[in-house]
Chain A
Amino acid sequence: MATIIFIIFAGMAIGCAIAMVSQTNPLYCAISLIGVFISLASIYVTLAAPFIAAVQVIVYAGAIMVLVIFVIMLLNVEHAEPRRRRLKFLVPMAVGMAGILLAETAFILYSVQAADTHLPGNVSNVGLTHSIGEGLFTRYLLPFEVTSVLLLMAIVGAMSLARRSNLLSASARVVPGAQVLAMDIVNPRAVGDLRPVETQTTEEAAHLLGVDFQTDRSEPE
């Protein structure tokens, strides 16, 4: 029974992973990746690690993928154009590396199979939230605190990276209502005269341009 469940979810994970790599639309990639995460969470449950399974679904399939999909939809990029000539060698290189890694996989399978590696039954409480919390707050307290510092750094870094930089230079001073117009805009007879005419307020600019600008807007009481 456990074998059948493992085979089902392992097949699902591998199939979704292959679909992810083979698709060109990043949104479909993201959905396939969510499939991988869900099937891995199911495998964690069969490995008697319910806490990790829940965190997998909440953090990976929930938070991280929502962020990724949000960015995909925010940037809204069309399908990629064909690869340029000088980077064509990457695909055979990827195939070669995949071959090497799969050979390593076969080696692991072969050598570990030789040892008696039957997983113990689900009798322990290793994967439960209780034991994880106990480990996290006693023996591994320092890594836990370092993790919190890491998250703080990530927050600061993400904010400073994603902040939109100002279009004006730091030295530019802008007064509300101040405008700089070319002379031939202000005076239609001075064609080609591009000397700047500065005005300090919007009313002044409207007066120069001969536009009727309502200055006496009554304050609502």
Chain B
Amino acid sequence: MGPQLSWYLALSAVLFTIGAVGVIVKRNVIAMFMCIELMLNAVNLTFVAFSSYFQDVTGQLFVFIVMTVAAAEAAVGLGIIIAIFRNRETLDVDDASMMKL
């Protein structure tokens, strides 16, 4: 008996949960950013598992596009992080709360 689809889905859900917890718990902007990357990866795992299960290439094309979005997000997000650091001399998200009501 090989691994079943539900195992991959469970792994993906666990990784997504850990990523979500990290986004909430962490205060360092870069660590939060990495947790978001982890969540994206968990979703990618779901896509690939379903693609392999249904023998359909569409899921893997989705993964390809998600990876491109992640790369774009990394470039823009790290630019924003550098801009925040330059203005506030900190990476703590609690200090970058000017948009809060």
Contact = CB atoms under 8 A, between A and B. Distances in A.
Given A2-B2, A98-B17, A47 B78 contact: no
Interface string A91-109: 1011101100110110011
Given A55-B67, A147-B65, 12 more contacts: A6-B7, A17-B19, A59-B71, A64-B37, A67-B78, A71-B78, A77-B91, A83-B27, A101-B17, A109-B10, A150-B72, A164-B86
Consensus secondary structure, chain B interface: helix
A120 interface: yes
B60 A127 contact: yes
Q: Which residue, of B25, B49, B70, has the highest number of chain A Cβ atoms within 10 A?
A: B25
Contact of B18 (A18, A26, A132, A151): A18
Contacts of B72: 150-151, 153-154
A169 interface: no
A20 B86 CA distance: 26
A80 interface: yes
Interface of B: 1-11, 13-22, 24-28, 30-31, 33-35, 37-38, 41, 44-45, 48-49, 51-53, 55-58, 60-61, 63-65, 67-76, 78-83, 85-86, 90-92, 94
B70 A75 contact: no
A174 interface: no
A30 interface: yes
4 closest A-B pairs by beta carbon, nearest first, are A161-B79, A154-B72, A112-B6, A105-B13
Interface string A172-213: 000000000000000000000000000000000000000000
Contacts of A18: 18
Given A83-B27, A97-B21, A135 B57 contact: yes
